Structure formats: structure tokens, C-alpha cells
Amino acid sequence: IKYLEPAFAADLMDKEENGYHKKRIQDLEMYHGVTDPYFDNTPWPNASNFHVPMTQVFVDEGHSRVDDLEWRDRKKIVSVGGIGREDRWKARDLELFFNWQGLNDIVDFERADSAANFWALVQGTSDLKIIRRNREEYGLEVHNIRSAEYMVVPVNRKSREAKDCERVSQIIPLGAEDLRERVAIGQYRNLDAVAKSHLPGTLREEEYDEIRGVVSGLSLSEKQMRDTWFVVESYLSYYPLGSTRMRELIVTWSPGSRKIHRKIPNEDAIRPYVEKYYYENHGMAFHFSLPEKFRAIQMKANYADKQKTDAKDKANSPAGFYDGESGFDPRMHVRVPTAMHRIKNLGRIEWEPVNIAAIMHSDQELKNLWELYEKAAGFTYLTPDSKTLGQEVLKTQRANTRFGSFYRLVNYHWKRTWDKIYAYDH
């Protein structure tokens, strides 16, 4: 525990020091279209505050395309090729077994993998956890872990594998039944010391619960406080005192109470995590999200749409100015369409001039921003407006080339997933 606790705290601090989790909360707000309440009353009460759904469109488009690459063929999701001629029959049998295993034996594999693809786009990095089923007959389970909340890794490690990373920690929320199950197994100790908080002194979990409550309308804060306990499961490389031979360990422990609940050798020497990402932060443990990478375009689009709608409101209902005893005081008069403002010695009613140039310009600006986001995101193009067939063919070729980088990453993650499954099977 003298090693685990300071190492865990240092990894957590490195992850949070520059606002990592604040960015992940902004990602959720941007994807779900949570608007800034300031614009509800700027420049007048009940003004336009529309979230242009760029981020939602491109996250959902990318998610569907990645899922389609992996799961399009409902009979064959993986291909196996041998190295030499002597591998031909072995490769064929292994391919048949893999496809049966992935499509039939691993429960909810497709759903967990799809969730990992989604969170990799929305929050930059997600992890698949592949573990053996806790029962006598052999089988595997696949779970998705939102890395933004629950994975704690040294930030400058390029993977979770033992050759690249000395330790990987996963924060695991437990319910009452989960704790009773661990008591019944008899392999855990000090379970009475499991705490209801894994991050003393921070409000990170509360911030995630708050934004999920805003999005879904369901409050999780009370349930988390009432029914949820947290432990940390660490996979680490360890050199016993006086030995030069490294051992792989799995340690389950509680940071708050500084108690170890279970410590066992990792006999398979397999770390069960496969991280997924599509906007790479090279050499780092956590990567860029789509909302973060293109946040400036989204914010510009929101503001451009607001300007256009406000300009339309002004054009449809211009304010008026009429002669009055008191002068016009901008501190006392709120800018509102159709309002009438008294101005001393005006002598007549004046109407606010209408200029539709801003409205026309904003329409074109929004269209350009959609195209810019489209090119930058790289998944597809949705606005085929080329004037000739040649231009359309060239645009399609460029889009396919741009998507090629994602295609290679999808293959890379898919191969690592099946390498992990093969290691367990073997």
C-alpha cells in the first residue's frame, strides 16, 4: 500500500492537473446540446439560444461507420490468415472458432464494443476489458469502461500493456450485492473498510453526476451517495525484495481506507484492457475527443446561428423611437424587438433601420462551417454540391483517403482485441 497509494495519487493528479475532467464534462455538454444560459437573455430576454447539432451529427456518423466496419457481416467478423502453407488448415479452423466465439459465446460483445467506439469519439479514449467468466467452464466477458472517469494510468504511457506501462488502475463502483458476492467468494478481506468515495477532496464524481442529470433528467447523486462503494483494481509489475525477476500482480484495494482487499499473482500475465481512440495524442495514455478537437467550430456555428436569428428578430420586429419628455437612457432601457423608446425633441417616430446583409451572410457562413467540420472530422461528407461529375469523383476520393486513417485505427484496435482473446483461448 506504501507504493500503491502515492503512485495512484500521482497518476490521478497528472490526469486532472490541467483540467482533463473539465474538458470531458464539456464534451458531454457539447454532444447533448446543453446550452449556455447566458445567451437566453442576450441581447434581450428569451433571445435565441440554439445549439447547432454539428457534434451530434458527426459523432453519430462516425460511430455508425466504425461499428459497420467491425460488425457488418453477421457471419464473419474476423479473418485469420496463416504465415505459411502449413498454417492454412489451422488458420481456417481458428477463424471458424473465433467467429463462433465472437458472435455467440461472448455475451453482449457487440454492445460493449459499440459503447467503446462511442465513448472513444465523445471522450477521446475508452477501454474494453476482456476477462474470463467467473464460473467453472471456460468463457470470456467483454465490458466497456469509460476511461475519462474510471481509468488511472501514468499519462505518458502509450498503452496499458506491461511492456509499456508499469501499472494500470481501474476504479470500480460496487453495489451492495457486489459486496455480498465478494464476501461469499471468500477471496477478499477488509471489505468492511470499502469506502463510498474514491477521490477524497475532489468533486469530480459529483460533476459527472450533475451533467448526466441535466442530460437525462435522472438524478444519480443521491443513489451514488446511498448505494455505491468504490474499490480500485490495479494491475502492476512488481519486483520482490532481493529478486531481479519481475512479477505481475493484481491488487484490489481502497485508497480512502488504505486497505488491501485482495492481492494475487497475475498468472496469465495478461492485462485485460484494450484502449480505443480515433484522434491520437501520440505517445500518451489519453487521447483527443471529437468535441474537444473541433470545439471552436461548434462554438462559432452556435454564435453564427444566434446572430442570424437575432438579426431576423430585429428585421421582423424593429424597435421604434418616439418623442418624449425624458431622454433615452441605455442603462434603463433593455434592447428588445418591437420596443418603443422615448427620445427628447425627436419630433416624429423613427423606426430602427433593417439590414438583411447580416442574415444573408450568416446563412453562407453556417454552410461553410458545416463543410469545415465535415472535412476536419474526416468520417464522411454529407453535402454533395459539386457542379460536375469530375469534381464529385475527386471529392469522394479525398473523403475516402481522409477516412483511411480511421480505417487503419479501427483495424488496429480490432486486431488488438482479438489478440487478447486469442491469448486467453491459448
* Model pLDDT for residues 117-146, shown as the tens digit of each residue: 999 999 999 999 999 987 788 999 999 998
pTM higher than 0.95: no
For the ranges 93-107, 151-165, 374-388, the lowest mean pLDDT is seen at 374-388
Helix (H) or strand (E) holding 297: helix 295-316
* Model pLDDT for residues 248-278, shown as the tens digit of each residue: 999 999 987 889 999 999 988 899 999 999 9
d(CA 422, CA 414): 12
d(CA 362, CA 385): 19
What are the respective helix, strand and coil percentages of the chain, to the nearest 5? 50, 15, 35
Place of cell 462559432: 300
* Model pLDDT for residues 195-250, shown as the tens digit of each residue: 776 554 455 777 777 888 778 777 777 777 778 888 999 999 988 788 888 899 99
Cell (9 digits) for 99: 467467429
d(CA 129, CA 274): 7
d(CA 187, CA 185): 6
What are the DSSP calls for 249-277, one per residue? EEEEEETTTTEEEEEEE-TT----EEEE-
d(CA 290, CA 211): 18
pLDDT at res. 199: 59
pLDDT band at 57 (very low <50, low <70, confident <90, very high): very high
Helix (H) or strand (E) holding 422: helix 389-425
pLDDT at res. 400: 62
* Model pLDDT for residues 332-351, shown as the tens digit of each residue: 666 677 677 666 666 666 76
* Model pLDDT for residues 357-405, shown as the tens digit of each residue: 666 777 788 888 888 888 788 776 545 555 555 555 555 555 566 677 8
Average pLDDT over residues 23-49: 90
pLDDT at res. 32: 93
Cα–Cα distances in angstroms (integers) from residue 322 to residues 132, 236, 325, 334, in the given order: 79, 77, 10, 16
- Is the distance from CB of 130 to CB of 106 less than 8 angstroms? no
Q: Give 312's contacts (C-beta < 8 A, 6+ positions apart).
A: 359
* CA-closest candidate to residue 338, choices 355, 321, 323, 360: 321
CA atoms in the 13 A half-sphere facing the CB of 187: 10
d(CA 11, CA 230): 18
* CA-closest candidate to residue 53, choices 382, 404, 403: 382
- pLDDT at position 162 over 70: yes
pLDDT at res. 46: 87
pLDDT at res. 382: 47
* Model pLDDT for residues 293-328, shown as the tens digit of each residue: 999 999 999 999 998 888 888 888 787 776 666 555
Place of cell 457562413: 365
